[in-house]
């Protein structure tokens, strides 16, 4: 397992973990409104349709863009050196400021929601300021990570290499965002933002997947079941998984940004590139298999999270190949995949809390939290997938869903129930973390 140096690495990792937890709190509160606005029966009692779209934008950005980048920074800070301390704190400060501005932006006038993929936006000056500020902080953080996580022995330090390759993916994603912003011609409407975030959004998925596997292997090692694959072989598998990232600059250089071929090539990059992760995913499955019979102890929460993460991520991957048309199978796919990553990060958070000087996550709530969150999300995803098979469209709420058949209502009812259970599971994670982080262990 990577050793966490005292001083700057520990302090920065603590700060980013706090930011990630705060983002989840805000996202969870908004998730309650999202679930209620789509649940049959409740949606007719509480007229939440007008709030749905604005809440959805900030919910997605907090739970995906902010949480994922914050926890990526936790990993990079924890495994990296203490170099460039000032850059780390400036990056964190800008990211925290951007997150705060994003959280309050819906309460200011003119917040017109654009429900484009990956990073939805509110057409409003304060929200745009929040995105630019957070992007600036993230960029500085990634640049520092490239320096501090550079593996001196890349074939002997696979988890450090995985973290470094995740930073490479983040750099390419941010570069894609900036290039798209500079080159995509302005057009009024959602299509502009869809194209703007298309290339970088697809690239970010490689960052998340690489760091998810880092989290899996770190958790397994903490539980006393490190991978039986040699460090050299595991490093090679990480390099293979990152190979599709070479296509990102090639697509931007050879195809006009924003053109139909540009968008099609990134869609194919997702389809053809993620199978390169296959051997690493298999290692995750083998790590789970080796945990059979392991007694429940203080590391039980991490084990629970590892199991739930693998199930949700695998389900999301399968659903990705079943998408036909623009319906709620699409959010079923990305909810499964992104929740798989979230659960991996939750599990690693449980491992890192005592290593960062906080108390251990203990008690039944900590052990059951990943199961509650994972089961809720599983029901949520299956409900969406079921409803999508019966034609329920995505990104609509209330009466606009046109739930006319019993199977549609059953599926969306499952979605609503699963979503509420998942909100409870997310709240449990926040409570477990806050309890552990409220006291220092003396490190």
Give the tens place of pLDDT for each residue, 360-403: 887 889 988 999 998 988 888 887 776 665 455 554 444 444 45
Helical packing angle, 198-222 and 67-79, nearest 10°: 50
pLDDT tens, residue by residue, 262-301 = 999 998 898 888 788 888 888 877 777 777 666 555 457 8
* Distance (Å, whole) CA 430 – CA 336: 20
So what's the pLDDT on residue 190? Answer: 86
Q: Give residue 145's pLDDT.
A: 97
Produce one character per residue of 44-53: b if its CB has 16 or more CB atoms within 10 Å, e if not: eeeebbebbb
Q: What is the pLDDT of residue 299?
A: 57
Decide: 399 and 347 in contact? Cβ < 8 Å: no
440 φ/ψ angles, rounded to the nearest 5 degrees: -95, 150
Calculate the CA dihedral of residues 265, 384, 204, 14 and round it to 10 degrees.
180
- For position 187, what pLDDT does the model report? 86
CA distance 253 to 36: 45
The residue ranges of the chain whose pLDDT is under 70 are 1-2, 31-52, 292-299, 320-334, 386-412, 440-443
In whole angstroms, give the CA distance from residue 197 to residue 355: 36
The pTM assigned to this predicted structure is 0.88
What are the φ and ψ backbone dihedral angles of 113, each rounded to 5 degrees?
-80, 140
Pairwise CA distance, residues 374 & 311, whole Å:
9
Residue 322, pLDDT score: 64
pLDDT value for 399? 43
Q: Can you give the length of the chain in residues?
A: 443
């Amino acid at each position: 397992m990577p050793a966490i140096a005292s001083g700057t690495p520990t302090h920065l990792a603590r700060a980013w973990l706090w930011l990630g937890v705060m983002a989840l709190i805000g996202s969870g509160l908004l998730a309650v409104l999202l679930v209620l606005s789509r649940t049959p029966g409740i949606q007719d009692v509480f007229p939440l349709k007008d709030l749905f779209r604005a809440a959805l934008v900030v919910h997605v950005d907090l739970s995906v863009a902010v949480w994922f980048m914050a926890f990526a920074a936790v990993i990079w800070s924890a495994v990296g050196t203490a170099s460039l301390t000032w850059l780390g704190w400036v990056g964190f400060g800008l990211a925290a400021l951007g997150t705060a501005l994003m959280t309050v932006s819906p309460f200011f006038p003119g917040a017109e929601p654009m429900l484009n993929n990956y990073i939805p936006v509110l057409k409003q000056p304060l929200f745009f300021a929040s995105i630019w500020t957070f992007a600036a902080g993230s960029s500085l953080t990634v640049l520092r990570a490239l320096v501090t996580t550079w593996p001196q022995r890349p074939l002997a330090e696979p988890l450090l290499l995985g973290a470094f390759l995740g930073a490479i993916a983040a750099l390419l994603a941010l570069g894609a965002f900036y290039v798209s912003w500079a080159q995509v011609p302005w057009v009024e409407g959602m299509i502009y933002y869809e194209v703007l975030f298309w290339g970088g959004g697809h690239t970010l998925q490689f960052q998340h997947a690489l760091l998810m596997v880092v989290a899996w292997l770190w958790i397994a090692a903490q539980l006393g079941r490190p991978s039986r694959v040699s460090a050299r072989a595991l490093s090679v598998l990480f390099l293979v998984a990152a190979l599709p990232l070479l296509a990102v600059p090639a697509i931007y250089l050879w195809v006009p940004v924003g053109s139909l071929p540009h968008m099609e090539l990134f869609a194919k990059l997702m389809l053809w590139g993620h199978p390169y992760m296959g051997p690493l995913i298999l290692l995750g499955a083998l790590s789970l298999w080796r945990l059979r019979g392991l007694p429940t102890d203080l590391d039980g929460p991490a084990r629970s999270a590892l199991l739930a993460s693998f199930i949700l991520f695998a389900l999301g991957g399968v659903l990705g190949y079943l998408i036909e048309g623009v319906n709620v199978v699409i959010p079923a796919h990305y909810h499964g995949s992104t929740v798989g990553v979230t659960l991996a990060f939750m599990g690693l958070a449980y491992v890192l809390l005592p290593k960062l000087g906080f108390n251990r996550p203990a008690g039944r709530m900590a052990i059951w939290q990943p199961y509650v969150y994972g089961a809720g999300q599983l029901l949520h995803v299956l409900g969406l997938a079921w409803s999508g098979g019966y034609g329920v469209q995505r990104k609509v709420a209330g009466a606009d869903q046109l739930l006319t058949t019993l199977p549609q209502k059953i599926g969306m009812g499952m979605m609503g129930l699963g979503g509420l259970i998942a909100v409870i599971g997310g709240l449990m994670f926040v409570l477990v973390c806050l309890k552990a982080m409220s006291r220092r262990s003396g490190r």
